[in-house]
Structure 1
Amino acid sequence: MNNILKRTLLPSLMAASLAGVTLVPAKPAAADDQVLRDAGIGAVTNVVTGAIRGNGRVLNNAVKGGVTGAAVNGANGLRNNRRNRSVVQDVGVGAGASAVTGVITGDSKDTLGNAVDGAAVGAAIHLLTK
């Protein structure tokens, strides 16, 4: 009797556990795509604004822009309705996140410039993901 139960229940249990493992992470993957999209938009935008302003460290600008884009995405994730995004919120969060990230990465001599770059990132994300 014990062998019969093992032969019938174990394969079903294994199939159910494998299905649960593969289907559960399917929902958060869409959220990760949005964060990666906004981080990418932020990185590209901050590299461009850094080049326009003459701030020549491309990698540093890309890091600040990526973090800023993720922060803007996170701020919009806190809202109940993601479709009614606020341009003021996106620009403000972008400016603040870029200024703080600039201080952390050692680019604290140009805090206002970092805030301007972050505001541009927030505006770009708002326009491109509307």
Structure 2
Amino acid sequence: MNKILKRTLLPSLMAASLAGVTLVPAKPAAADDQVLRDAGIGAVTNVVTGAVRGNGSVLGNAVKGGVTGAAVNGANGLRNTRNRRHRNIGQDVGVGAGASAVTGVVTGDSRDTLGNAVDGAAVGAAIHLLTNGK
């Protein structure tokens, strides 16, 4: 009896959960677009600053920049609606520097923490300049 229940119940349960998982992300969310935009800006900016400084690989710099951009977006997401549209340059640069320094340590690029912080500050400034008021 136990095998019969497993053979009957499990496939239908898996099908129902798979349908639920695929239908949930179908709702569009504007916040996701903003996170992806800031992560993209961060990745490109960090690749450029890494190339200028001659530090790290393109992929490693893109990952650090993407994480930094998402962190800057997250820090601004905690603010109220008016302040989200009018970002604070000090906050963006500070969060970018801190997030990039921490990401560098986590990814194993801890030999140049100050350089990672400078790259992150550039990411925060670029995001601020390109998205302030939008």
* More off after superposition, 11-20 vs 53-62: 11-20
Query: Distance in 2 between the 1:104 and 1:3 partners?
Result: 46
**How many Å apart are 1:27 and its aligned residue?**
6.9
Aligned pairs, number:
130
1:90 counterpart = 2:92: yes
* More off after superposition, 76-85 vs 57-66: 76-85
Query: Distance in 1 between the 2:7 and 2:116 partners?
Result: 64
Q: Deviations for 1:54-88, whole angstroms, at most 9, x for unmatched residues?
A: 01411000000000000000000001131121000
Inter-CA distance 27–72: structure 2 relative to 1 (3 Å threshold): farther
Query: Distance in 1 between the 2:35 and 2:116 partners?
Result: 21
TM-score, scaled to structure 2: 0.77
1:2-81 paired onto structure 2 within 5 Å: 29-80=29-80, 81=83
**How many Å apart are 1:24 and its aligned residue?**
8.5
Query: Distance in 2 between the 1:126 and 1:61 partners?
Result: 19
Q: Which has the larger radius of gyration?
A: 1
Paired position in structure 2 for 1:107? 109
* SS class of match (1:25): helix
Query: Distance in 2 between the 1:14 and 1:56 partners?
Result: 43
Query: Distance in 1 between the 2:4 and 2:50 partners?
Result: 69
Query: Distance in 1 between the 2:104 and 2:5 partners?
Result: 62
Inter-CA distance 2–68: structure 2 relative to 1 (3 Å threshold): closer
Residue segments in structure 2 that go unaligned for 5+ positions in a row:
none
* SS class of match (1:28): coil
Inter-CA distance 58–15: structure 2 relative to 1 (3 Å threshold): closer
**How many Å apart are 1:91 and its aligned residue?**
0.1
* More off after superposition, 61-70 vs 9-18: 9-18
Residue segments in structure 1 that go unaligned for 5+ positions in a row:
none
* More off after superposition, 48-57 vs 91-100: 48-57
